[in-house]
Amino acid sequence: MKWSLTIARVFGIRIRVHFTFLLLLLWIVVETRAAAGWGAAAWGVAFIVATFTCVALHELGHSVVAQRFGIRVSSITLLPIGGVAALRSIPQKPGQEIAITLAGPLVNVVIFAVLYVIAVWVPFEVPYYPGLMTLPELPIGVAELMGALLLVNKWMVVFNLIPAYPMDGGRLFRAVLAQWLSYPRATAIAAVVGRAFSIGFVALGLLTGWIFLAIIGVLIFFAAGAEEKTVRLHGALQDIEVGKVMTPVFMTVGPDDAAGDCLPWIFQRGQDDFPVMSDGDLMGMLTRGAVLEAAKQNGTARAADLMTRNFSCTRPDAQVAGVHDAMLANGQRTVPVIEDGRLVGLLTFDNINRYFMIHPSGAARKVT
Ligand SMILES: [Zn+2]
């Protein structure tokens, strides 16, 4: 996500804070100071930081379990409306999805339990917040902060388990449906339910003046559509072989060719990455980044000096869905297609998207 600042790295996952989050902190300081002075403002900031530490731990719960299933997690971004963990691929087995999804709210249950035990053992006068907090009720003092965090974690569990896909509850709902239905079909139903909830959130948010709920509703509405599209694409690619989607027409370069020679192909032909060939053998891939970098230094650097040897290949009879997953997981934009030791094509995200444009009903065939 753009406009984010990396503040930490945990288990190889970058924890990032979106700049709008800093605006939230500023707003809290200004408002609470005006209402109750600098002391209140400091406690307000402490409360927000503690709350979003809980949000980050919730997302880490999802992420760590996802990593255990071999799914790469590049970052966790904290926004004023909550956290987003960026998984590089979608878990395909319902069991994995259930485990990954439950891990988030489970973290909040653990935090709640720990705070509760501390509150009982250290006899704090923990105030009980009956309803949702509004700004003048922000906690002042350690005991109030504890009470507020207990409430926050309780609500994080309850709210996240509402079956509004793609929130946690909606993912669980989809995983349950996927026991009987195909994955794309289950997602389509979960997305419809998710959108119905999101409209409800917006209406409720506007009626009660709780504007965060309305914003969350809008975001869920669009996120449901975006995730459903990804799943539909995946479903449509399930039965399709790489050979049908790949491009057989592409430019290759020799190891001694100037990397800058590829520039016209990038701009005029839309080819991003170039196989480096020597005597019919694929030696490496020259990526767009390397070509553009070479072009800045008058473009004469040799292809062999700039190419990467770190890439994976596929076969024409491989399934596109699996290759697409691998491309998302390791960020490889172009996959060379090899048949009988010979380079016969390139598979790119662009190929896959174009294929989907003309075969959008591919997913429908999978409906069982
Ligand atoms: Zn979650």
Pairing of strands 13-18, 73-79: parallel
What does the pLDDT look like over 192-235, one tens digit per residue? Answer: 999 999 999 999 989 987 887 888 889 889 888 888 887 877 77
Can you give the pLDDT at residue 304?
Answer: 86
Measured N-to-C along each axis, helices 183-208 and 211-236 cross at an angle, to the nearest 10 degrees, of: 170
Measured N-to-C along each axis, helices 211-236 and 349-358 cross at an angle, to the nearest 10 degrees, of: 90
Ligand 1 centre to CA of 71 (Å) is: 16
Ligand 1 centre to CA of 109 (Å) is: 12
Ligand 1 centre to CA of 282 (Å) is: 43
Ligand 1 centre to CA of 313 (Å) is: 35
Ligand 1 centre to CA of 28 (Å) is: 25
pLDDT over 60 (residue 17): yes
What does the pLDDT look like over 277-305, one tens digit per residue? Answer: 988 889 999 999 888 888 888 777 888 88
Give residues whose Cβ lies within 5 Å of ion ligand 1.
104, 168
Ligand 1 centre to CA of 87 (Å) is: 12
Ligand 1 centre to CA of 103 (Å) is: 8
Can you give the pLDDT at residue 38?
Answer: 85
pLDDT over 80 (residue 136): no
> Which tokens in the block code for residue 53?
């530490």
Ligand 1 centre to CA of 79 (Å) is: 14
Ligand 1 centre to CA of 167 (Å) is: 7
Mean pLDDT (the chain, rounded): 84
Ligand 1 centre to CA of 301 (Å) is: 47
Ligand 1 centre to CA of 18 (Å) is: 18
What does the pLDDT look like over 57-67, one tens digit per residue? Answer: 999 999 999 99
What residues are paired with 10 via a beta bridge?
13
Ligand 1 centre to CA of 62 (Å) is: 7
Ligand 1 centre to CA of 86 (Å) is: 12
Tell me, yes or no, if the pTM score tops 0.75: no
Can you give the pLDDT at residue 56?
Answer: 92
Name the nearest CA neighbour of 17 among 52, 62, 63, 42: 52
Percentage of the residues of the chain whose pLDDT score is greater than 70: 92
How many angstroms separate the CA atoms of 178 and 260, rounded? Answer: 49
In the three-class reduction of DSSP (H, G, I as helix; E, B as strand; rest coil), residue 349 is classed as helix
What does the pLDDT look like over 300-344, one tens digit per residue? Answer: 788 888 899 888 899 999 988 888 878 877 778 899 999 988 999
Ligand 1 centre to CA of 105 (Å) is: 6
Ligand 1 centre to CA of 65 (Å) is: 12
